[in-house]
C-alpha cells in the first residue's frame, strides 16, 4: 500500500505564508509485517 499526498505547512518566510510539500508513505505486509 502506498500514498502520495500534498501537505500545506505554514511558513512565515514564504510570500503567501505557506508552502506545499509532497509526502510519500508506504507499507509492506508479509508473514512478518513492517514499515519501510
Q: What are the average pLDDT values for consecutive 10-residue runs of the chain, which has 36 residues?
A: 92 93 87 68
Contact 27, 35 (CB under 8 A): yes
- What pLDDT score was predicted for residue 30? 75
The percent of the chain in helix, strand and coil, each rounded to the nearest 5, is: 0, 60, 40
Domain span at residue 22 reads 2-35
- What pLDDT score was predicted for residue 33? 65
Q: Domain count for the chain, please give it.
A: 1
- What pLDDT score was predicted for residue 17? 94
- What pLDDT score was predicted for residue 1? 80
- What pLDDT score was predicted for residue 34? 65
Amino acid at each position: 500500500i502506498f500514498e502520495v499526498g500534498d501537505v500545506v505547512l505554514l511558513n512565515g518566510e514564504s510570500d503567501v505564508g505557506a508552502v506545499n510539500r509532497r509526502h510519500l508513505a508506504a507499507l509492506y505486509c508479509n508473514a512478518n509485517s513492517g514499515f519501510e
